[in-house]
Chain A
């Protein structure tokens, strides 16, 4: 049996690793297809490999997705403004560093998961037991802060208050519109499911492809910027122990929030963690004696500012691993307080109808994560080097056009046919608002956050009646 599990873990790692190199293809789409295949051949694939197989897939995704995210994300002007260091690093020929640092963050995330095992069993179980009857308002505070903390990005130019207001509020207003429209879509699709019941486990897929995948592709297709072919290969890991130390705290906080709170993504968790920690301010720029002729002062930029690039990438890797892998691992923390585990996330939703965790599975899953994570890290280094070699030969726009057709086929066959295509088209329009108006893309998560919070509080029927959905 152990050998069979190892083989399937290897299979899951390789399959997911290769497929996740395709830009815009999410692991949950791949997992949905694998689940569909398993339904057909369930006599051939043993039941006990299901969880390790899917776990290895999500581990591989957490690592290898860094490659398309680093090299093929639309690196145009508006993406640059979102201050993603990886975009900047690729532009400066340091894409390899960005990809590997993110991967190392995920590797650090695995170590954190191992160290946190007693915490998950003896403290986190109590935390979840205490807060679970309060999740509706906890989700509410996430939404309220998320909306209220989007500050105006414009400089406020204008002669009158109204002109200044207009100049500043573009992104804030766009964020609020995106949030509201996404919430309405969420209320509609949760009240009146538009996909057929037999495909209910994939009902959310067209919505998410519309909100996130298609707008990213559109952004890349219309973007003028090109991936710089010249990328440098560093001899060493360009980070110190202190970078990992500083990144661990926001990474863990963001990861724990995202892994437990339903519909809260790694991005949202990371925003909360950055607001909470913000250790860059430990040392601020200071005025020193001038060092250059003709100047009055030298503004000293502290080392911690430069460190932020590394901290962001490593912390992001930690958060991402805790969000995807940790959320699934928590399903296997079975205690008297949590008889059904504490798992969250898309994979839990997908597997719930076909799989139930048992006591003792936790350590098998932990071993799976270590094994798959080690292979994935090596694969990340290898595939990053291959990607860099292929960069001059790749026409990313042509690849994205092919991906559009692949995703449309997935939506058509697994997401409810023409209805699914229609839903994806509507959500693509909404998902394009953040792309063009430079507000947070995670506002689209209101599609789940609002219905879940209202449902948990017992208001979903009342809201559906107000919206005349029932």
Chain B
């Protein structure tokens, strides 16, 4: 899930605790002295986004790669890049040690980048330069390098694979659950190609497994130690202590709300393709996910964000303001959730399905255009 989705989900989860809502009501509807005007809910949001913050703003800098591929923007050499890449893979295979390789973007101006693909054949790695793209990732036509400077390819001595065979009890449990929900996994295909263009680079780790193949691990630093229920608990301890020392009303709720945000994040992430190292440091491997949604899928993210907003308003009214007449009766709750949650999301999914259908038909038109601009819209 996206950061905003985790953030909103954490806040929505916190509003299910009546006392938290009452503490956060500034009109002092609550009669408990000192309990009003609390910012406690911020903790759920902040801790809801914290695991990714720790990864992308801190953790990634500690993952020092053995090999770096940082092409010269003025004279990028795809062959030299694939040579380094292959060297890293072969070293992992020869020595049995884990080897990481870091690829950097090629920035040509403030808003201009050289896009490149990394493509994997069973025994070969290929790097292909594409057009220059803007920061919006829209390519500028006719800016691809000449054919002789465009592609580099190097043979690999070891085959790469995208799924690991070495699975722990946690992975077995996740796979079991995934198979129960989705059925058996499709047969493992080749490693998917990657694209690198704007802002940040990417890192891959190679690990030789017992079948002699190399397990290809994308972003090895992501969703490891930072995505642990245990770490979340330890991080919430200072919150309990600070709240206690500040003599805050219901001091124990502060740590709990913080942990709730963290917990929701990790649990939501388990629905994606990469899971998390849920019990780090006691059990360090990163699990697979349930593979129900792609983390970037706008439909999933938007529907969760929208649901979170509706539920926040629902809970705020139930536990503090009591202004919505519908919520004064038990059946009113059902009508409310139907009117403002179920029906709007149903309409949303219908509309998005139409847009998707249109996008797919537009794709055919796009492919006929050599520069990818589709229908001409300017004079």
Contact = CB atoms under 8 A, between A and B. Distances in A.
A293 B138 contact: no
Contacts of A238: 377-378
A134 B200 contact: no
Contact of B61 (A156, A172, A239, A287): A156
Contacts of B328: none
B46 A148 contact: yes
Contacts of A279: 298, 302, 352, 355
Contacts of A130: 313, 316-317, 321, 323-324
A145 B7 contact: yes
A59 to B, nearest CB: 28
A458 B38 CA distance: 9
Interface in A267-312: 272, 275-285, 287-288, 291-297, 299-306, 308-309
Interface stretch (A161-169, A347-355, A410-418): A161-169
Nearest to A143: B42
Interface string B315-336: 0110011011000000000000
Interface stretch (A77-85, A389-397, A427-435): A77-85
A457 B377 contact: no
Contacts, number: 230
A278 B359 contact: no
A293 B147 contact: yes
B195 A285 contact: yes
A168 B62 CA distance: 13
A40 interface: no
B238 interface: no
Contacts of A291: 370
A129 interface: yes
B356 A283 contact: yes
A277 B302 contact: yes
A281 B294 CA distance: 10
A77 B298 CA distance: 31
A399 interface: no
A295 B37 contact: no
Nearest to B368: A291
Interface stretch (A196-204, A227-235, A379-387): A227-235
B199 interface: yes
A144 B46 contact: yes
A366 interface: no
Interface string A205-221: 00000000000000000
B193 A287 contact: yes
A299 B105 CA distance: 17
A279 B37 CA distance: 36
Interface string B336-368: 000000000000000010011011101101110
Contacts of A278: 2, 296, 298, 301-302
B147 A457 contact: no
A467 interface: no
B52 to A, nearest CB: 9
A268 to B, nearest CB: 13
For chain A, give the interface size range: 35 or more
Interface stretch (B25-33, B83-91, B268-276, B283-291): B25-33
B135 A81 contact: yes
A7 interface: no
Contact of A281 (B7, B42, B297, B372): B297
Interface in B96-153: 104-105, 107, 109-111, 115, 117, 119, 126, 128, 130, 134-139, 144, 147-148, 150-151, 153
A172 B373 CA distance: 34
Nearest to A278: B298
Contacts of B324: 126, 130
Interface string B294-316: 00111101100110000001001
B70 interface: yes
B218 interface: no
B45 interface: yes
Most buried by B among A130, A157, A238, A293: A130
A88 interface: yes
Contacts of B137: 285, 301, 305
B110 A78 contact: yes
Given A141-B42, A276-B4, A456-B26, A296 B151 contact: yes
Given A81-B110, A83-B136, A295 B150 contact: yes
B150 A135 contact: no
B328 to A, nearest CB: 13
Contacts of B36: 458
Nearest to A235: B379
Interface string A434-470: 0000000000000000000000111100000000000
A300 B298 contact: no
A164 B317 contact: no
A141 B43 CA distance: 9
A152 B105 CA distance: 14
A80 B126 CA distance: 32
Interface string A145-188: 10011011101111111101100110010000000000000000
B176 interface: no
Given A133-B27, A155-B105, A234-B379, A149 B359 contact: no
B379 to A, nearest CB: 5
B39 interface: yes
B57 interface: yes
B26 A134 contact: yes
B41 interface: yes
Contacts of A285: 137, 195
A277 B150 CA distance: 36
B2 A303 contact: no
A283 B359 CA distance: 7
B323 A457 contact: no
A314 B372 CA distance: 23
Contacts of B105: 155
Contact of B37 (A80, A309, A459): A459
A144 B193 CA distance: 36
Contacts of B363: 283, 300, 302-303
A131 interface: yes
A68 interface: no
Interface in B171-206: 193, 195, 199-201
A242 B358 contact: yes
A149 B119 contact: no
A297 B130 CA distance: 10
A127 B38 CA distance: 20
B239 interface: no
Contact of A141 (B41, B61, B134, B379): B41
A271 to B, nearest CB: 10
Nearest to B150: A294
Interface in A68-95: 77-78, 80-81, 83, 85, 88, 94
Contacts of B110: 77-78, 80-81
A298 B119 CA distance: 11
A288 B367 contact: yes
Contact of A295 (B151, B317, B360): B151
Interface in A346-374: none
A247 to B, nearest CB: 12
Contact of B378 (A159, A164, A234, A304): A234
A354 to B, nearest CB: 28
Given A80-B111, A130-B316, A164-B61, 7 more contacts: A126-B323, A137-B39, A157-B104, A276-B301, A281-B297, A296-B151, A458-B36
List the 4 shortest-distance A-B pairs measured between CB atoms, nearest first.
Answer: A294-B147, A133-B27, A275-B4, A77-B110
12 contacts: A77-B110, A81-B110, A88-B111, A141-B41, A152-B57, A279-B352, A282-B298, A282-B299, A282-B355, A301-B138, A305-B137, A306-B138
